[in-house]
Structure 1
Amino acid sequence: MPKTSTEDREWIAEAIRRVEADTNRSADTHLHVVNLPGPPGIDLYLKDESVHPTGSLKHRLARSLFLYALCNGWIHRDSTVVEASSGSTAVSEAYFARLLGLPFIAVMPEATSKEKVTLIEWHGGHCHFVKRSSEVYDEARRVAAERGGHYMDQFTYAERATDWRGNNNIAESIFEQMAAEPHPVPSWIVVSAGTGGTSATIGRYVRYRRHPTRVLVADPEGSAFYQGWSRGTSDVTMSAQSRIEGIGRPRVEPSFVGGVIDDMEQVPDAASIATMRWLSARMGRMVGASTGTNVWAALCLIERMRHAGEQGSVVTLLCDAGERYLSTYFDDGWLAGHGIDIAPYARLLDAYDATGELLPATAVRL
């Protein structure tokens, strides 16, 4: 690798300044209270990551990945930035690439929602499609090598690019915003995994700060994370692919750190989408299906806490807005075409609204 010239150092310094200036212009994200049916004593909060400039939790990751690559000398003024993504990370990375005046290519499954494709292209990125999510890694490496560019590789670097000790990361923000709440130290934080970076950051932070908070990862069906964690191995691969965009992977990604997780729950796709729609109606705004995955797992967890006589707070994430999925998860025709029947879970949630009790899925005919 050639030595970094003075001009390159100056360009990198300016690039870092631009990224940090963007951070300073962006206020912290909101923490919403979700009013739940049933008896008081357990409070649910949503950390609203959809208000980032690029509209999702992945804005934090993209910013960290760009800073990491810049400080490592991997990105230069003539670099083409390439990423393997299911959509939201690519939207955010396209934003930062344009901020630095760099070309950006997203390698992603052809099933990615057209709304995300439109956003990537609006930010100046180019979309390169593969048939299956398992193909994105090798294709991204090939495209980067072909163009003499840099493959960001979020699935490897997500857990190390973010400062998990603090420095305004998502975990530190949650605890600061919870300080005046009835139960300021969450009993549980519930997240889903796409790279594993968020669960690694939060899990490390609560241990570092010696909080009793436990971390639960909600994983959609078809994803390898739950199977790998349950078996205590990282060599699990899945033939199916997750239908919940942004989370779930066909393999256990290098950034997934199972040792910082206290529990996992596998969430059926129909439950994720039914909960997405239920929460959208409850909040008066549209949320995405990964948020539905998080909230379904959180509701099941809260039900277990209530039956155990526990009180406390549970925090989970609103990952992105539902407007990105108008042609998919909010489209009944799309659901029917993919064989997803959300009606049984919608009935469970209707009963929850009426009685304040979330019956286990096995209590009704699914």
Structure 2
Amino acid sequence: MNTANVSRSWTHHAIATVQAENNRSADTHLYKIELPVHWGVDLYVKDESCHRTGSLKHRLARSLFLFGLVNGWIHEGTTIVEASSGSTAVSEAYFAQLLGLDFVAVMTRSTSPEKIALIEQFGGRCHFVDHANEVYSAATEIAAQNNGHYMDQFTYAERATDWRGNNNIAESIFSQLAHETHPEPAWVVVGAGTGGTSATIGRYLRYHGHSTQLAVVDPEGSAFYPAWTSGNPEIITGNSSRIEGIGRPRVEPSFVPGVIDSMFQIPDAASVAAMVHFAQLTGLHAGPSTGTNLWGVWQLVARMVAAGEKGSIVTLMCDGGERYAGSYNNPAWLSEKGLDPAEHLRTIKDFFDSGVWGS
């Protein structure tokens, strides 16, 4: 029997399986969030928690598996390995299980128990390291030991998704805005996690000639913001982000600074405050990286109000708050981590009362 033909047959079946999963999936909701009418700014939040694996990373995991399959890196029996703080690993564990493949997630010990449980629920296993900068070498070593494939989201996120369209998140956003008052938003606001989402959206905006600007938010201590402001991609902070899923101790290969129009560095406690306020404002319970997005959003809304500009802003609800019941939604945990949102909640309240940021 020709083993090459057997391998190609399995690959064809695997690709068809992943594509069928996508075909069964509806698009995620784009919610309009009610703001004071006299501000003249419409806010939309794309709820990526609607995916089967509960986060924005479902899109990335699907793309990474298809990328690995068409490049001949993933075969029948391949052990899939990923360096991930949680959500990417949850989604990749799901797709690995779909294809009957073993999956190992390499993450820091600080990852929320809820995410660890989800990885294990989808048949994955977790390998823990003490510091964020240790995940890369550990994932490489585990893949080599198991004759497996290290997915390496931090390198391949920006190239695994077709930024021109083909049902990517940017195309989805513009399609859903088509009948709104301001169908071409003034801003799209996303976090710097792998860099893949900002790269996809930024390239899409330029390719299609949109005037929309891209703002990227980054938590305190992460390397992306100082690298963008200084123009030095070699910056290494070595810090583990306290906001799961975004912020890195080094500038990852998937980060494309040239497509970004503005960046904000967000205090961690402010991310928590914006997450709490979002639940109060909308009844939607999001995770802390959504709070990071929103802290940047409110500053951009304030700029537009001050300038008398009318228009819309779009951001993402990256995952649901249920994944953080024991951490960011736990006052005792927040106190232990030195994350007091009270001052930042007052800032948001004052903004909604006055329409002025930092008044």
Q: Which amino acid aligns with 1:357?
A: G
Correspondence for 2:71: 72
Aligned pairs for 1:237-252 within 5 A? 237-252=236-251
Q: Which amino acid aligns with 1:205?
A: Y
- Report the Cα distance in structure 2 between the residues aligned to 1:201 and 1:154, rounded to whole angstroms: 14
Correspondence for 1:55: 54
- Report the Cα distance in structure 2 between the residues aligned to 1:213 and 1:109, rounded to whole angstroms: 36
Deviation at 1:350, TM superposition (A): 2.4
Correspondence for 1:336: 335
1:165 and 2:164 equivalent? yes
Deviation at 1:90, TM superposition (A): 0.1
- Report the Cα distance in structure 2 between the residues aligned to 1:43 and 1:110, rounded to whole angstroms: 40
1:349–1:358: 8 Å Cα contact kept in structure 2? no
Aligned pairs for 1:289-328 within 5 A? 289-328=288-327
Q: Which amino acid aligns with 1:135?
A: E
Name the CA shift for 1:31/1:206 in 2 (closer, same or farther; >3 Å): same
Deviation at 1:280, TM superposition (A): 1.2
Deviation at 1:356, TM superposition (A): 4.1
Deviation at 1:39, TM superposition (A): 2.2
2:62–2:95: 8 Å Cα contact kept in structure 1? yes
Runs of 4+ in 1 over 3 A off after TM superposition: none
Correspondence for 1:196: 195
- Report the Cα distance in structure 1 between the residues aligned to 2:3 and 2:314, rounded to whole angstroms: 44
Deviation at 1:37, TM superposition (A): 3.6
Q: Which amino acid aligns with 2:355?
A: E
Correspondence for 2:14: 15
Q: Which amino acid aligns with 1:313?
A: S
Q: Which amino acid aligns with 1:65?
A: L
1:357 and 2:349 equivalent? no
3-state secondary structure, aligned to 1:68: helix
Percent sequence identity over matched residues?
Answer: 60
Deviation at 1:203, TM superposition (A): 0.2
Q: Which amino acid aligns with 1:105?
A: V
3-state secondary structure, aligned to 2:312: strand
2:305–2:355: 8 Å Cα contact kept in structure 1? no
Aligned pairs for 1:269-280 within 5 A? 269-280=268-279
| Residues 91-113 of structure 1: per-residue CA shift (max 9 Å, x gap) | 00000000000000000010000
Q: Across the two proteins, how many residue pairs are aligned to each other?
A: 358
- Report the Cα distance in structure 2 between the residues aligned to 1:247 and 1:38, rounded to whole angstroms: 32
Deviation at 1:4, TM superposition (A): 6.9
2:39–2:305: 8 Å Cα contact kept in structure 1? no
Q: Which amino acid aligns with 1:277?
A: V
3-state secondary structure, aligned to 1:77: coil
Instruction: Give the RMSD, CA atoms, in angstroms.
Output: 1.1
Q: Unaligned stretches of 5+ in structure 2? A: none
- Report the Cα distance in structure 2 between the residues aligned to 1:320 and 1:25, rounded to whole angstroms: 20
Correspondence for 2:226: 227
- Report the Cα distance in structure 2 between the residues aligned to 1:35 and 1:99, rounded to whole angstroms: 39
- Report the Cα distance in structure 1 between the residues aligned to 2:52 and 2:345, rounded to whole angstroms: 32
- Report the Cα distance in structure 2 between the residues aligned to 1:327 and 1:273, rounded to whole angstroms: 14
Q: Unaligned stretches of 5+ in structure 1? A: none
Name the CA shift for 1:4/1:191 in 2 (closer, same or farther; >3 Å): farther
- Report the Cα distance in structure 1 between the residues aligned to 2:331 and 2:187, rounded to whole angstroms: 33
- Report the Cα distance in structure 1 between the residues aligned to 2:216 and 2:157, rounded to whole angstroms: 16
3-state secondary structure, aligned to 1:29: coil
Q: Which amino acid aligns with 1:45?
A: Y
3-state secondary structure, aligned to 1:39: helix
Q: Which amino acid aligns with 1:142?
A: E
Aligned pairs for 1:32-181 within 5 A? 32-37=31-36, 39-181=38-180
| Residues 271-290 of structure 1: per-residue CA shift (max 9 Å, x gap) | 10000010012221310000
- Report the Cα distance in structure 2 between the residues aligned to 1:358 and 1:248, rounded to whole angstroms: 28
- Report the Cα distance in structure 2 between the residues aligned to 1:271 and 1:111, rounded to whole angstroms: 20
3-state secondary structure, aligned to 1:227: helix
1:253 and 2:246 equivalent? no
Q: Which amino acid aligns with 1:216?
A: A
Q: Tell me the TM-score normalized by structure 1.
A: 0.96
1:39–1:356: 8 Å Cα contact kept in structure 2? no
Q: Tell me the TM-score normalized by structure 2.
A: 0.98
Deviation at 1:38, TM superposition (A): 6.3
3-state secondary structure, aligned to 2:39: coil
Deviation at 1:358, TM superposition (A): 4.3
- Report the Cα distance in structure 2 between the residues aligned to 1:83 and 1:47, rounded to whole angstroms: 26
3-state secondary structure, aligned to 1:282: helix
